[in-house]
């Protein structure tokens, strides 16, 4: 039976998962109390006021793909769907400046990228032959059978060379999964290709926010309060038990009789705040200690003249993987380095120098530009590490042993640690709080093309 409007839900954590649960519950008239440690929403996918420049900067450049149906639904509910700028093309730039534009053709999925890929200058004939050999395999493989091996092992089995791995597979996988092919579980990487590229021409459309990330969530409080709920900022939670949550300041919050509790904090915090007796009785919690993390580095750069003419760029075989243009002129760039383990010990000056070196290599005309600002943002615990074996440990939202509903990108959404995975987990948690089936709340994936189905796509 769905929760009645008088039932309340207590949500701990205002990242994408907790925010999604709160907004979805509010849409059904369910009052929620959302506790958030910070003074803003969004968790790791948000912005901050830079004390040096006085500007509002994103922690890192986040993008949304067309296949991110739950996150896009969240943006629609927040009235921010139009705040996303959509691109059908990607610009892959080699050292020296040669650029390949990857865009879908009029061919149906899964053939829609075949023409652009065949014409890409950064891929040799040998690379293309490798991709042709594995194409049918990607469609038909059951990714669930490859949870315990790395994607690198999977690629080697199908004779993918170091060249095509470095130039094609690695840039996509590192960006989507925040781990390199030799560390990420094959099942997770295969999900990216099957869900994000092969089934629908809309799936790989890339959306970039036009506004700082924190502005995407500004309408959440109005939606929540209209449904009789509230957001409590600056509420650092010290303990969650079967009856409610206690903050570090000793304040107590309870959902009320018949209400539910959603724990939507990052995986590394769950074990620190959930009551030990609950953890001992509920088998979902013990495996969480085995989750590792992978860092992301975002670098804000300003130059005294235009450097990047395209909206974004993938830098082929460079340590700096992505550049995004943050102004119309191309003077202000945001560089993204995923799986940034080797960068964490570098100083901000060293980081800026390495990124500028990559920019100069791929955009020779930029060598005359002077760097006027550099701000590096290290997210050491940016995402959980989707290594082999971790899929079996990802917990469900609920378990009969406790009243605690779990939400977060680490739960068993099937997605890597992405905004879509977090949003989907929040919707699943909302369904659980209302005692509904997940499919009553979760947004369906994009429809797979008829040809992809005929060819055997394992969606």
Residues 337 and 354: beta-carbon distance below 8 Å? no
Query: So what's the pLDDT on residue 7?
Result: 73
Q: Tell me how far apart the alpha carbons of residues 213 and 57 are, in angstroms, rounded to a whole number.
A: 9
Backbone angles phi, psi at 220, to 5 degrees: -60, -45
Query: So what's the pLDDT on residue 258?
Result: 82
Residues 296 and 48: beta-carbon distance below 8 Å? no
Residue 102 gets the label, from left (phi > 0), alpha (psi -120 to 50) or beta, of beta
194 has pLDDT over 70: yes
Backbone angles phi, psi at 194, to 5 degrees: -70, -40
> What is the β-pairing status of strands 56-58 and 47-49?
antiparallel
Percent of the chain with pLDDT over 70: 98
> Which of 405, 340, 330, 407 lies closest to 378 in space, CA to CA?
340
With bands split at pLDDT 50, 70 and 90, how would you rate the model's confidence at 458? Answer: low
Q: Tell me how far apart the alpha carbons of residues 395 and 284 are, in angstroms, rounded to a whole number.
A: 5
Residues 334 and 301: beta-carbon distance below 8 Å? yes
pLDDT single digits (tens) 340-396: 999 999 999 999 999 999 999 999 999 999 999 999 999 999 999 999 999 999 999
Question: What is the largest distance, in Å, between two alpha-carbon atoms of the chain?
Answer: 67
Q: Peptide bond preceding 110: is omega within 30 degrees of 0, i.e. cis? A: yes
Full set of structural domains in the chain with CATH: 9-47+211-290+389-440 (3.50.50.60), 102-204 (1.10.3110), 293-384 (3.90.660.10)
Task: Tell me whether residue 363 is exposed, middle or buried, using C-beta atoms within 10 angstroms of its C-beta: 0 to 12, 13 to 18, 19 or more.
Answer: buried
206 has pLDDT over 60: yes
pLDDT single digits (tens) 313-328: 999 999 999 999 999 9
Count other Cβ atoms within 10 Å, centred on residue 45.
24
Q: Tell me how far apart the alpha carbons of residues 455 and 13 are, in angstroms, rounded to a whole number.
A: 42
Task: Please give the torsion angle defined by the CA atoms of residues 417, 422, 428 and 431, in that order, rounded to the nearest 10 degrees.
Answer: 170
pLDDT single digits (tens) 139-179: 999 999 999 999 999 999 999 999 999 999 999 999 999 99
Residues 6+ apart with CB under 8 A from 378: 295, 297, 340, 343, 344
Across 434-456, average pLDDT: 95
Q: Tell me how far apart the alpha carbons of residues 21 and 34 are, in angstroms, rounded to a whole number.
A: 10
Residues 333 and 301: beta-carbon distance below 8 Å? yes
């Amino acid at each position: 039976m769905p929760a009645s409007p008088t039932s309340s839900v207590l949500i701990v954590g205002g990242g994408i998962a907790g925010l999604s649960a709160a907004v979805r519950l509010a849409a059904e008239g369910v009052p929620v109390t959302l506790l958030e440690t910070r003074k803003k929403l969004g968790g790791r996918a948000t912005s901050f006021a830079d004390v040096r420049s006085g500007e509002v900067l994103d922690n890192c450049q986040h993008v949304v793909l067309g296949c991110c149906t739950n996150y896009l639904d969240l943006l629609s509910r927040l009235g921010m769907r139009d705040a996303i700028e959509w691109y059908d093309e990607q610009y892959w730039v080699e050292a020296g400046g040669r650029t390949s534009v990857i865009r879908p053709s009029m061919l149906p999925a899964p053939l829609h990228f075949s023409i652009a890929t065949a014409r890409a200058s950064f891929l040799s004939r040998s690379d293309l032959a490798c991709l042709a050999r594995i194409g049918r395999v990607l469609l038909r493989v059951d990714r669930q059978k490859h949870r315990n091996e790395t994607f690198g092992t999977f690629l080697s089995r199908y004779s993918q060379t170091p060249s095509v791995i470095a130039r094609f597979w690695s840039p996509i996988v590192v960006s989507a999964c925040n781990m390199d092919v030799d560390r990420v579980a094959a099942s997770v990487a295969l999900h990216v290709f099957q869900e994000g590229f092969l089934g629908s021409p809309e799936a790989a459309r890339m959306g970039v926010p036009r506004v700082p990330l924190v502005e995407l969530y500004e309408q959440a409080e109005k939606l929540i309060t209209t449904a009789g709920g509230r957001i409590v900022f600056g509420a650092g939670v010290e303990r969650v038990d079967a009856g409610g949550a206690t903050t570090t300041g000793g304040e107590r919050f309870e959902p009320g009789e018949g209400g539910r509790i959603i724990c939507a904090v990052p995986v590394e915090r769950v074990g620190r705040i959930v009551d030990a007796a609950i953890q001992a009785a509920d088998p979902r919690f013990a495996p969480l200690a085995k989750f590792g993390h992978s860092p992301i580095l975002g670098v804000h750069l300003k130059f005294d003249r235009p450097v990047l003419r395209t909206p974004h760029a993938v830098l082929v075989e460079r340590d700096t993987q992505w550049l995004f243009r943050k102004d119309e002129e191309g003077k202000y760039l945001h560089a993204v380095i995923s799986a940034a383990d080797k960068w964490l010990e570098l100083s901000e000056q060293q980081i800026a120098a390495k990124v500028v070196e990559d920019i100069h290599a791929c955009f020779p005309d930029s060598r005359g530009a002077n760097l006027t600002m550099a701000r590096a943002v290290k997210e050491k615990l940016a995402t959980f590490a989707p290594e082999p074996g971790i899929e079996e440990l990802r917990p469900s939202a609920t378990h009969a042993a406790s009243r605690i509903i779990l939400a977060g990108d680490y739960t068993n959404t099937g997605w890597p640690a992405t905004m879509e995975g977090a949003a989907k987990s929040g919707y699943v948690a909302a369904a659980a709080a209302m005692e509904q089936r997940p499919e009553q709340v979760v947004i369906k994936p994009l429809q797979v093309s008829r040809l992809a189905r005929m060819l055997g796509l394992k969606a």
